[in-house]
Structure 1
Amino acid sequence: MPKWPDDDVILFDGVCIFCSRWVRFVAQRDTAKKFRFTPIQSDYGAELARTFGIDPDDPDTNAVIHGGVAFLKSDAALTVLSHLPGWAWTRVLFAVPKPLRNTVYSLIAHNRYRIFGKYDACFVPDADLRARVIE
């Protein structure tokens, strides 16, 4: 798998309401401000997505670059959660077989707009979060 020069970057679908809530959830709990965020609709996000085989026009996963490596689907979510203060316990979920975790992840991802809705344009974060967004 290719490497990425920036670390602890979360790639997300900026028009997906669920994905945008995920970003806010992480940002509120990431007291060390370790993670940064990039919407797949940005130039930087689209380049990152293409590098790791994600179609920027039809994303089926979020991703996180951690330790220079891209984690996708359930691995991405659990990697992020397990590095948040008070959430280390989520590492035990890596014991659940990856095909099962990714089946559940893909089911939600495939139906995210229908279940949670979609913004007309990328959500605009507040000033504090905006400083952590790479576009």
Structure 2
Amino acid sequence: MKRNELRLGNYVIAVDNVFAEVLRIDTSKITMLNYPFTDIIPFSQPADVLKPIPITKEWLVTEFGFNDNGDGYYQHPDYNFFLYHIEEDEYFECYKQVPANDDTGDFKPLQHVHKLQNLFYELFDEELEGKF
């Protein structure tokens, strides 16, 4: 991964396939904690050894609290912010409806949890955090 695509609080896959939350971003390393927080000792690794976490139903519903509206649609409980799972291409189409009753919106394909977190922050000025 590239250091410039990460923000504090992003979830990534560290070496040994460990889920981790970004705590600090330096020029030569990323400092993280294991996620869920089973070990509270921070560790550091270079950004180029980190991998993105693919968005899955489990991440959306279990970790981030999205509602599963069926047929591949997921909605954030507090915002008109939706994801639609495009199974054949293995990504989620993300959109925000403005106003709430309008069928139009801005669409953006997403595949990775950290990109979803970054977009959510950009749109709502609020962190998209896991439940742990």
**Structure with the higher fraction of residues in helix conformation:** 1
Q: In proportion to residue count, which structure has more strand?
A: 2
Higher RCO structure, 1 or 2 (CA under 8 Å, sep 6+) = 1
TM > 0.5:
no
Give TM-score scaled by structure 1 length: 0.28
Q: Which one has a bigger Cα radius of gyration?
A: 2
